[in-house]
Chains A and B, each alone.
Chain A
Amino acid sequence: MIGTIRGSRRVSIAAGALLGALLLLALFAPLVAPYGVDALDLAHRRGAPSPQHWFGTDELGRDLLTRILFGARISLAIGLVSAALSVAIGVTIGAVAGYAGRWTDDLCMRVADAMLSVPRLPLLMISAAVLSPSVPLLIALVSAAGWMETARVVRAEVQSIKTRDFVTAARAMGATSGRVLWRHVLPGVATTAAVATTLAVGRGILLESALSFFGVGVQPPTASWGNMLYQAQTTMSTEPWLGVFPGVFIFVTVLCSNVLGDAWAEGGRARE
C-alpha cells in the first residue's frame, strides 16, 4: 500500500512538472519558438516533420511547433481561467445554498439540476454559435457551464460543517453570517475546491478544443490547439502530423491535470 502511494506520488510529481514546463513554454513562446508565429516558409509548405521543422509545416508553410507553442497560450489560458472562475462560482453558490438553506437552497439546486440536464457540449456549441465569441467570452461560457458539480459537493460539505460545534460557538459569540461563512466554514472546503479546480483545467481545455474543432470556438488566425485540429481534419490523410501533434498536446495536458486532481483527491481521502 505504501509502495503504491509512493509510486503514485512519483507519477503526480512528473505530471506537475510536465504541466509546469508546458506553462513556461507557453509563457515564453516568443523566446523559445523556433520561428515567428506567422512566418511563412514557402519552400516547405505541407512539409512532413524534419530537422528544420520538428513537427512539420502547414499549407502556408508555417512551422507547426511554433503554432503549437503559441496555441498553448490560448488553450492553457482558457483552461486555467475558466477552471478558477467555474470553481469560484461553484463554491459561492454551493456555500450560500448550503449555509442559507430553505428557499435559497432549493432555488440554487433546481437551477443546477436544470443545467446538468442539458447536455453540456451541445449547449455550449449553440451558445458559442449564437454569440460568436471572443476568447474572454469563451472563457465566460465554459465557466458558466461548469460550476454545477462543484456547487453540489460544496453544498453538501457546508451543510455538514455548519452543524459542528465551532460554528455554533462562533455564532454564539456574535459573528455575522458572512464572517462565519468566510472564516469558519469555507476553509473546510479548500481541499474540495483545489481538487475541483485541477480537474476543471483539463475539462476546460477539452471543451475549448471541442468547440474550436467544430468551428465555433477560437477563430483563426489566432491559434489554439482545438482550431488547429479543425483546420487539420480535412487533410488528415495526406498531412497527418497537422492533426496528430496538437491532439497529443491536448491529451497530455488534460492527462496531467487529471492525474494531479486524482492524486490530490486521494490524498484528501487518506487524511480523513
Chain B
Amino acid sequence: MLRFFTRRAAQAVPLLLVVSLLVFVLIHAAPGGPLALYLDNPNVRPQDIERLRRAMGLDRSLAAQYVAWLGAFVRGDWGYSYADGRPVLDRLLERVPATLELVGTSTVAALIIALVVGVLAAARRGFDRVATGVAIAGISLPVFWFGLVLQLAFANALGWLPSSGRSSFGGGDVGDMLAHLVLPAAVLAVAHAAGWSRYLRGSMREALALPFTRTARAGGVSERRIVLRHALRNALLPFVTVVLLDASIMASGAVVTESVFAWPGVGSLFTEALAKRDYTVLMAFLMCASVAVVILNLVADVAVYALDPRTREAA
C-alpha cells in the first residue's frame, strides 16, 4: 500500500515538471513577454521598461529564469500581482473560500442527481430513454449560455433569485447567501450530473450483466436489493474514479460559472487577471489548478488500489 503510494507520488513529480515547463513557455511566448502591458503605455519610458526587465530578471536566459521561477514557486513565493502589487498568494487565498463553497455545493448536488438518475436508468428501461436524452442535452449545453438563460428567467423575468454575486451589498444573512448560491450551483451541478449519470448508468449496466447478479436472482434476492446492494457496490468504484478524474473539467466549469455570476472566487480572479494580462496571477492559477488535478488523480489511483483488490495484480 505505502509502496504503491510512494511510487505513484514519485510519478507525479516529473508530470508536474512538464506542466510547469508548459505554463512557463506559454507565458513567455507572449509578444513582449510578461511586460507586454507596459509596452503600450505611453507613460512608461523605454529606460523604465529596461530597468524593470533587469529587476525582474527578464534579461537572463530563459533556462535560468525557469529555474529561478520554479524554485521560488515551490517555496511559496509566487510574486506580486501586476494589477495591484499585492502578493499573488494572498490574492488567491482570499478567493478560495468562495470557490470551495460553490464547487462543494454543486459537486454534492451533482453526485446526488447522478446517483439517483444513473441507478434508475440502469434499472428501468422506460426511464432510461428519457434520462439518456436529458443527459446528452446536458453535456451539450454551453455552460455560460445556460447561466445567462437562468439569470434571465429566474433573476430578471421572475425576480425569484439574485442574478449575481455571493451576497447582497453590505453582506447578507444566511438566507441571502443561499439565495445567491442557487443559480451558479445549479448550472455547475447540471453540467456535471449529465456526464456522471451516464457513466454510472453504463457501469451499473455492466455490473448487472455479470453472472453474480443472475446467481443472486436465482437465490431469490429481491430486484431492489440486487440493484442497490450488489450492482451499485460494484459500479461505485469506477464511478468515484471518474468523478475524481474530472477535476480538470470542474476547474474549467468553475472559471466560466464564476465569471457569468460574478461569484468572487478563484475562477473570476482568473478572468479578471486575464483581462489585465496579469501574468503572475495567471501562472499561479494554472499551476495551482494543475497541482490540484494531479493530486486528485493520485487520490483516485490510491483509492482504487485500496478498495479493489482485483486491480493490484495489474498495478
A binding-site residues for B, Cβ under 8 Å:
4, 7, 110-111, 113-123, 125-127, 129-131, 202, 206, 209-210, 213-216, 229, 233, 236-237, 240, 243-244, 247, 250-251, 254-255, 257-259, 262
Which B residues touch A216, using CB under 8 A?
Answer: 274
Residue B211, interface by CB 8 Å: no
Our pick among A123, A125, A240 for the contact of B152 (Cβ within 8 Å) is A240
A229 near B252 with CB under 8 A, answer no
Which A residues touch B141, using CB under 8 A?
Answer: 251
B274 near A126 with CB under 8 A, answer yes
**A110-B15, A119-B290, A121-B252 given; A7·B129 CB < 8 A:** yes
Residue B251, interface by CB 8 Å: yes
For A126, A240, A258, the residue with the greatest tally of chain B CB atoms inside 10 Å of its CB is: A126
Our pick among A4, A213, A236, A258 for the contact of B129 (Cβ within 8 Å) is A4
Our pick among B142, B151, B252, B282 for the contact of A209 (Cβ within 8 Å) is B142
B142 near A210 with CB under 8 A, answer yes
A254 near B290 with CB under 8 A, answer no
Residue B14, interface by CB 8 Å: yes
Distance of A88 Cα from B23 Cα, bound (Å): 25
Our pick among B16, B125, B142, B251 for the contact of A122 (Cβ within 8 Å) is B251
B140 near A254 with CB under 8 A, answer yes
Residue B156, interface by CB 8 Å: yes
Residue B144, interface by CB 8 Å: yes
Which B residues touch A233, using CB under 8 A?
Answer: 148, 260
B binding-site residues for A, Cβ under 8 Å:
14-16, 18-19, 22-23, 26-27, 29-31, 125, 129, 136-137, 139-145, 148-149, 151-152, 156, 248-249, 251-252, 255-256, 259-260, 270-271, 274-275, 277, 282, 285-286, 289-290, 293-294, 297
Our pick among B18, B140, B282, B297 for the contact of A251 (Cβ within 8 Å) is B140
5 CB contacts below 8 A, A to B, read: A113-B18, A125-B270, A206-B140, A251-B141, A257-B140
**A7-B129, A121-B255, A237-B156 given; A114·B18 CB < 8 A:** yes
* Min CB gap A231→B, angstroms: 12
B145's nearest neighbour on chain A, judged by CB, is: A247
Distance of A229 Cα from B146 Cα, bound (Å): 11
Which B residues touch A120, using CB under 8 A?
Answer: 248-249, 252
Distance of A204 Cα from B215 Cα, bound (Å): 46
Distance of A243 Cα from B251 Cα, bound (Å): 25
Distance of A178 Cα from B30 Cα, bound (Å): 38
Which B residues touch A243, using CB under 8 A?
Answer: 145, 148-149, 152
* Min CB gap B205→A, angstroms: 11
B259's nearest neighbour on chain A, judged by CB, is: A214
A229's nearest neighbour on chain B, judged by CB, is: B145
* Min CB gap B88→A, angstroms: 15
Distance of A114 Cα from B271 Cα, bound (Å): 23
Which B residues touch A114, using CB under 8 A?
Answer: 15, 18-19, 22
**10 closest cross-chain pairs (CB), A and B:** A247-B145, A121-B252, A114-B18, A119-B251, A255-B140, A254-B140, A130-B30, A237-B156, A119-B248, A117-B293
Which A residues touch B256, using CB under 8 A?
Answer: 121, 210
Additional 4 contacts, C-beta under 8 A, given A122-B255, A210-B256? A119-B249, A122-B286, A210-B143, A251-B142
For B137, B141, B248, B249, the residue with the greatest tally of chain A CB atoms inside 10 Å of its CB is: B248
